Structure 1
Amino acid sequence: MHVPTAHIPQSTEVQGYIHSIETCGTVDGPGIRFVIFTAGCPLRCLYCSNPDCRYMENGKKVTVDTLMQEIQQYTSYMNASGGGVTVSGGEPLYQPHFVAEIFKRCKALGIHTALDTSGYCDLQVAKPVIEQADLVLLDIKSFDSDTYTKVTSVSLEPTLAIAHHLNDIQKPAWIRFVLVPGLTDATHNIEGLADFVATLKNVEKVEVLPFHKMGEYKWEQLSYDYQLKETQPPTTEQVQAAYAIFRSRGITVV
């Protein structure tokens, strides 16, 4: 599949497009994280919290040099907490050269790097980015392929290929799964994902993320059709039932 990259100017400064930055994130990898949200994403997830990240050209163009200057202002927080830099999105693998350069520069400074990705990318394009990442947060939106396409509008296969590659090279990974009542919470769907994850020896844990509607207002502002208006967050019992399925396969789940 064709994955566009950010425009690379004639100078040696690598540039890319970002949506925003969170300087002290605590939910996108270990410790306190400097989180870069890239612009541009090929998925159209029904529950997306950042629909304003869809188009790369709507982001802010920045150089890696500029980002590194800002990142280094927070190294004391990262070092003290066992944190680092996470690149999320959007979809970071939409701009592979840009993200790989960020990670390369961070690693040169001893800063831990994490890639938060849907895995929807040609494996050969993704490999140089994965190589530079210390940890991959792989979002598997569904294991049932039809449900996956309903949720995202794209195919599950590239994500599974990247999951297998991460296992082959024993790259530390966390699997993320959003639990949406009436959409992704079918028992066979969760069991399928749990059975698949159980075959992977590099996965440190699974994060079950309860569906929320905090991004709904963005859909309204953008005049996008938000199809989950009537969907409610999962109950504590529904979340615990999902936990139990993963734990029954010997998987650490949070």
Structure 2
Amino acid sequence: MIALCREHADKADNGSYTDAQLRRFKANAATNFESVRGRFEWMRHRIVMYAGTSFFLDHDVLVAENDTPLIWFTINEHGERMLNYRSRRSDRLVIEDNMWTVEQNDLLEVVCPPGARALDVTRTNGDHLRVEFHSFNDASAVVVKFPRQGHHLRELERLTYPLTVLELVDETADGVVKIHPDRIDMHGHVLMGGWIAGNGGSAIHVNPPGDDVVYIGGGSPPGTDSWSLTASQQELIDAVVDEHNTAAKLRDRLRLN
């Protein structure tokens, strides 16, 4: 794959460059510029976050460590939310008020389709970040896109449409919270299939490494709407997940028969 700006992509599509010239563009890309930049044009008064098969509603901060936000929203003068992202130890990828910057160092691939609604970044060490904005006209469309949230159909039907959902995957090596497509890992704890509504504050609040307390709720600890996962609670979650997976396999077998 060869990443080109719109002007040069159109020229390439129309045969302006030879294959050798295009390969030269790719070989010299890292020396031509130090970073790749772009902007998400999606700004809404309400943005629902979908991460690790869980929905997060009305939180200013998705992930925070101590008092430091790592994934959060700011609000402009029109009351519209803008995405922000920063790693704990590195500035190789930063999103500031919907403006994103990706450093070339160890960069494997950057995918940003036309429409400024998505960004997919992969590095040579396996780090992966994906951000994508979706727009839905009704609850059923949300469930079609995110079938693991079918059990939250009633809650989805209570929301106002059209609805903007921000889908996020953050699988970076230094991430204090790893957001996989099917779950969220937090200091050895796992969250999946949740519906976490708040009123500002942090959705996921973790303490420094070595302290395995994780707060999930409507504010920073010790907020009245927050709670922490204990070992027994984690065992219960694991049991529920196992039961859910077993039931899903049984349903699939019944469909086949």
Normalising by structure 1, report the TM-score. Answer: 0.30
Q: Whose strand proportion is higher, 1 or 2?
A: 2
Q: Which has the larger radius of gyration?
A: 2
Q: Whose helix proportion is higher, 1 or 2?
A: 1
